[in-house]
Amino acid sequence: MGQPLLQWFLEPFNQKLLLGLISAFILGLVFGRMLRYRKEKRAKLLTRKGDEAFFKGIQYILSNDHDQAIEEFTKAVQVNSDTVETYVALGNLYRSRGDIDRAIRIRQNIILRANLNEQIKLRALFDLGLDYRKGGFLNRALESFSKVLQKKPDDLETLEEIEKINEELNDWGEAFSVRQKIARLTNSGHQNILAHHQTELGKAHQEKGELAKAKACFKKAISIHEKCIDAYLHLGDLYFSKQEYKNAMATWKKVANVDPQFTFLAFRRLEGAYGKMQNLQPVEEFLKECAQLHSDAFTHMALARYLYNEQDYEGALRELGSALELDPGFWEARKYVGEILLERDMKEKALSAYGELIPHLNVPYLKFQCANCGFKPAELQWQCPQCKKWDTIDFVDSRNLDTTSPQELPAGEEESLLQSPEEEA
For the chain, the structural domain boundaries read 365-410
- Smallest CA-to-CA distance from 287 within 313, 312, 325, 256 is with 256
- Report field, pTM of the whole predicted structure over 0.95: no
DSSP string, 94-148: HHHTT-HHHHHHHHHHHHT-TT--HHHHHHHHHHHHHHHHHTT-HHHHHHHHHHH
pLDDT of the residue at 404: 44
Q: What is the pLDDT along the chain (425 residues), one digit of tens a residue?
A: 566 666 655 666 665 665 666 666 565 655 656 556 555 545 444 445 445 555 455 555 445 655 655 555 555 545 445 566 766 777 777 787 888 888 888 888 888 877 778 888 898 899 999 999 999 999 999 999 999 999 999 999 999 999 999 999 999 999 999 999 999 999 877 999 999 999 999 999 999 999 999 999 999 999 999 999 999 999 999 998 898 888 888 898 888 888 888 888 888 787 777 667 767 777 777 787 777 776 778 888 888 888 888 888 888 888 888 888 888 777 778 778 777 777 766 666 666 655 555 555 555 556 789 999 889 888 889 999 998 899 999 887 644 444 444 444 444 443 444 454 444 43
Among candidate residues 106, 99, 66, the one with its CA nearest the CA of residue 421: 106
pLDDT of residue 301: 85
Contact, 326 vs 296, CB < 8 A? yes
Report d(CA 418, CA 4) in Å as an integer. 75
pLDDT of residue 46: 43
Handedness of CA 189, 224, 213, 258 (dihedral sign): negative
Please name the helix (run of DSSP H) or strand (run of DSSP E) that holds residue 227, with its range, or none.
Answer: none
H/E element holding 393?
A: strand 393-396
